Amino acid sequence: MSIIFQGARLLSPADNLDTAASLKVSGSGVIETLAFGNETIAQNADDRVVDLGGKVLVPGLFDMHCHFRDPGQEYKETLATGSAAAVAGGFTGVALMPNTRPVIDSPLGVAYIRHHAAELPIDLEVLGAMTLESRGETLAPFGKFRSYGVRAVSDDGTAIQNTQIMRLAFEYASNFDLLVIQHCEDRTLTQGGIMNEGRFSTMLGLKGIPDAAEAITLARDLELMRYLQEHKLHDPLNPSRYHVAHISTRAALDLVRQAKAEGLQVTCEVTPHHFTLTDEDLFRAEAKGNFIMKPPLCSAKNRQALLDAIADGTIDAIATDHAPHAAHEKECPPDQAAFGITGLETSVGLTMTELVWKGVITLARAVEMLSVNPRKIMHLDPIRFREGEIANFTVIDPDLEWTVTKENLHSRSLNTPFIGRRLKGKAAGICHRGKFIENQL
C-alpha cells in the first residue's frame, strides 16, 4: 500500500523548494510521484491518502546530541522510550552520545545499540568515546569505530583536560575522517559548580560556573587545530573536523567566528533551553532541579549573543542534548540535582515560538538547523525530494498552539522546565521507512 500526501507546503532548502506539493510514497519507503501546485496524483484503491491541509513537509529532523541512557541506566530512558520521544518531537534520526554505563568505548557497545535498535522507527547514529571510559587518559580505538560505521567521537559530559591527549585525538580522528565533538569545559574552574556564576548564583548562595570555562577549553582546542594544520601533522585529505556541543557564551561564539573566518573546519550547536531560558529563570523557579544543566543556563547577555549568532549563521545546528533523569534525581536540593533536561519533544515548539515566530530566523533557516546542517556535519547522506529517492520527512504544523504537559510527553523521564509552557508550532508526524506515524496531543 502506498501513501499519498496531499495539500502540503514542501519546504526543502537543499532542493531550493518552498511550494505547494503532493507526493506518493511506496510501501517500501520510496518517493514514487512528486507533484507541484494543483497537480494531482492518481490514486489506487488501496492507497492511503493523508491530507496535510497546508502543513509544512520538511526533510526528516535529525538531533545530533542525545542521551538514551541504554545500556546501564534504563530506569531513566531506553532505546524504545527515547525513540518514542524522538518521533513525538518530529525526529527521524538522532545521534547517541557514548557516556552510557558502560561507556561506548569499543565496537562491542556500538554493536549492542545497533542490534537493539534494528526494529525502532528512527535511525540511531552511535558515537564512540574519545578516550577509554571517557577518563581523558587513553584514546579509544578510533579505527575500529570507523570500521563499525561510527562517524563521530566525543567524551560528552566532560572534556579532555590533558592537552597532549587532545592533540592525539585530533590526529587520530583525522586519519579516519571522524568528527570530534567537544563538551568545552575547564573542570578546574567548574568543579562543584551548580549554575552560571553571577548575580543570581550569589543571591541563591550556590557555587557558580564561570562562563570562561567554556571559552578556555575551546581556545586551546582551536589553537591545536591551527598548529596541526600549519605543520601538516594530520591527514591533508581529511583535516581535523571539530564541533562545539551546546555552545552557550559570547566568548565561545567569538572564537568560533574567528576560526571559521580562518578556514578551520569548525561547527557548533545550540540547545533550545539555552536560547530560551537564562539563569534568572532558575533563580525565580520554585523547583530548581529542572533548571540545572551543563553548560548552565547563561546570563541574559549571553542568551542575546546566542540569538545573534543563530541569526547571523555562526551557529550551525539546533540540538537538544536530551538528557533524561528520574524524578528523585531532580526533585532534590539544587546542589544535589543531576545535570540535564529532556528536549526532544519541545525542540520544534521552542524553535518555532522563540525563533521563527519572533522573527529571529525564517522557517527555512530553522529547517536547515534542525535537519540539513546536522546531517551535513555528521557526513550523513542528504535528504532529497525527488522521485526514486527514499522518503524521510517530518510534517510540522507551524500554527498549532499547545501546552506542554506531563501527560503528552513520551520520554520515560519528565525532567523538563517547560511543563505548563504554551508553545506555537509542533511536529505533526514523521514518514520514515515506508510508514507514516501521526502525532496526537
Sequence-ordered list of residues with C-beta below 8 angstroms from that of 350, at least 6 positions apart, any chain: 272, 273, 275, 276, 418, 423
pLDDT at 324 over 90: yes
CA atoms within 13 A on the CB side of 78: 7
CA end-to-end distance (rounded Å), the chain = 27
According to CATH, the topology of domain 3-57+388-438 is Urease, subunit C; domain 1 (2.30.40)
pLDDT at 213 over 80: yes
Note whether 296 and 356 are within 8 A (CB): no
Indicate the CATH number of 61-377 among 3.20.20.140, 3.40.50.1950, 3.40.50.150, 3.30.2080.10: 3.20.20.140
Q: How far apart are CA 98 and CA 135, in angstroms?
A: 12
Q: Which of 163-172, 229-238, 242-251, 304-313 has the lowest mean pLDDT?
A: 229-238
pLDDT at 70 over 90: yes
pLDDT at 60 over 90: yes
Report the candidate in 429, 313, 384, 431 with the shortest Cα–Cα distance to residue 13.
384
pLDDT at 135 over 80: yes
pLDDT at 256: 98
Q: At what angle do helices 107-117 and 79-89 cross, to 10 degrees?
A: 60
Report the candidate in 61, 72, 60 with the shortest Cα–Cα distance to residue 97.
72
Note whether 31 and 25 are within 8 A (CB): yes
pLDDT at 68: 98
What share of the chain in percent tops pLDDT 70? 100
Note whether 337 and 82 are within 8 A (CB): no
Q: How far apart are CA 107 and CA 89, in angstroms?
A: 29
User: What does the domain layout of the chain look like in residue ranges?
Assistant: 3-57+388-438, 61-377
Inter-CA distances, 440 with 34, 400, 426, Å: 27, 12, 10
**Paired sense of beta strands 422-432 and 435-438, if any:** antiparallel
pLDDT digits (tens, 9 = 90+) for 352-398: 999 999 999 999 999 999 999 999 999 999 999 999 999 999 999 99
User: Any alpha helices (H) in 209-286, and if so which ranges?
Assistant: 212-230, 250-262, 272-276, 279-284
Note whether 283 and 331 are within 8 A (CB): no
User: What band does 40 get if pLDDT is binned at 50, 70 and 90?
Assistant: confident
Q: Name beta bridge partners: 207.
A: none
Report the candidate in 396, 398, 321, 309 with the shortest Cα–Cα distance to residue 360.
309
Report the candidate in 380, 282, 287 with the shortest Cα–Cα distance to residue 331.
287
3-state helix, strand and coil shares in percent for the chain, rounded to the nearest 5: 35, 25, 40
Helix (H) or strand (E) segment spanning residue 59 = strand 56-59
Q: Which single residue is written with the C-alpha cell 567521537? A: 153
pLDDT at 142 over 80: yes
pLDDT digits (tens, 9 = 90+) for 414-441: 999 999 999 999 999 999 999 999 998 7
pLDDT at 199: 97
pLDDT digits (tens, 9 = 90+) for 263-313: 999 999 999 999 999 999 999 999 999 999 999 999 999 999 999 999 999
Rounded to an integer, the average pLDDT of 185-201 is 98
| Single-letter amino acid code for the residue at 363 | L
pLDDT at 441: 72
| Single-letter amino acid code for the residue at 70 | D
Q: Where are the beta strands (DSSP E) in 97-226?
A: 123-126, 152-154, 179-182, 195-196, 208-209
Report the candidate in 122, 5, 14 with the shortest Cα–Cα distance to residue 383.
14
User: What's the mean per-residue pLDDT of the chain?
Assistant: 97
The residues carrying an active-site annotation are 321
